[in-house]
Amino acid sequence: MNPLLQAKSLGQRLWLDNLSRELLAGPLQKLINEDGLAGVTSNPAIFQKSISAGAGYADDLAKLKQQSLTTEQRFEALAVPDVQAACDLFAEVYRRSEGLDGYVSLEVSPYLARDTAGTEAAAKRLWAAIQRPNAMIKIPATPESLPAFTAAIAAGINVNVTLMFGARHCDAVFDAYVAGLRQRLAQGGDVRSIRSVASLFLSRVDTLIDGKLDARGGEAIAFKGKAAIAMVRTSYARWMARWASEECADLRAAGANIQRLLWASTGTKNPAYPDTLYVDELIGPDTVNTLPDATLAAFRDHGSATPRLTQGVDEAAVTLQRLAAVGVDMDAVAEQLQVDGLKLFDEAFDKLLALLA
């Protein structure tokens, strides 16, 4: 059986980490039909690559440059229709799954990552512009943007929280989601239709920590390639336990949906590691894995759809303790990677807006 479909039967949904007009022209529908693809994500780097490649955008670019628009408005004039078209392709998936599947994400400007009011306003504006129930607005998990995430949930907006790199980020996002649901209930709103994911980035964690372990040498090298998976297993266990606990009983009673953890940055960057490492090891209920094209193809070809996410949680906790003992501060790593991730998105957006200028 197709491992992509097997993963779905085990409670994990697979999304594609790509969006382009070439994809919309045919390949996306095939992925939905044959592989059970359940969603698509985008980010500034993905759009920069797609638009700079030119395929399908030349005519619109020429027209937009004749209009009195800012470069960000030009970008949205290209991106919003793409997201709408992708949402429409997933509309039947969304309907049949009763709102569980079929989501397409569009990110607020990365320039707003430290601007609470700006992020909230952008999220509401993009949600209104897309006008699709299976859209998700991506908001970064920075301390400044999390209140905007809470406000978006309270307003009934689906949100994909991005740029999470550790357990502390998970706790902060969980708290912000719960706060948003409670605000919506207090306002007399319905929480049953709201869906959200929390994107935890993986390969960048191992890349940074592996470098630290190489520098320390000795016994530390034995932990290379183990930090991200250990962090995910322990974070997932805590996440699920919190949602199932008395802490969230009122929300469950009101019909609120769990915010699913999503594994991002799942293409391995170290060629010594299996190319499906961050898929094979992390399949479990109420999760999403968003895959680059190459990783999706690799998992279809030789992946192992086995429910390993909930296995070895105690061993994962020991691994994190041993990493701490050799000087790896997981919280500091997460903060550094979030700053680095914001910088990369800023740089991609700079290039994109320069192209549209």
Tens digit of pLDDT for each residue in 180-199?
999 999 999 999 999 999 99
How far, in Å, CA of 210 to CA of 178, rounded? 34
Q: How many CB atoms lie within 10 A of CB 297?
A: 15
Q: How many CB atoms lie within 10 A of CB 243?
A: 19
Which residue's entry shows tokens 């960000």? 72
Span 81-102, pLDDT tens digits: 999 999 999 999 999 999 999 9
Confidence (pTM): 0.96
On average, the pLDDT of the chain sits at 96
Span 285-335, pLDDT tens digits: 999 999 999 999 999 999 999 999 999 999 999 999 999 999 999 999 999
Question: What's the distance, Cα to Cα, between the start and end of the chain in Å?
Answer: 48
Q: Please give the structure tokens belonging to residue 198.
A: 């929390």
Which residue's entry shows tokens 């996306």? 28
Residue 52 scores a pLDDT above 90: no
The per-residue b/e assignment along 22-50, b for 16 or more CB within 10 angstroms, e otherwise, is ebbeeebeebbeebbbbbbbbbbbbbbeb
Q: Which residues, including other chains, have CB under 8 Å from residue 107's CB and lie 6 or more apart?
A: 42, 43, 44, 137, 138, 139, 162, 345
Q: Comparing C-alpha atoms, which of 28, 299, 3, 342 is closest to residue 201? A: 342
Which residue's entry shows tokens 């059970």? 36
Mind telling me the catalytic residues? Answer: 138
Mean pLDDT of 26-45: 95
How far, in Å, CA of 216 to CA of 231, rounded? 20
The per-residue b/e assignment along 65-99, b for 16 or more CB within 10 angstroms, e otherwise, is eeeeeeeeebbbbbbbebbbbbbebbeebbeeeeb
Q: Hey, what domains does the chain have and what are their CATH numbers? A: 3-203+258-307+342-356 (3.20.20.70)
Span 242-253, pLDDT tens digits: 999 999 999 999
Q: What is the DSSP letter of 107?
A: E
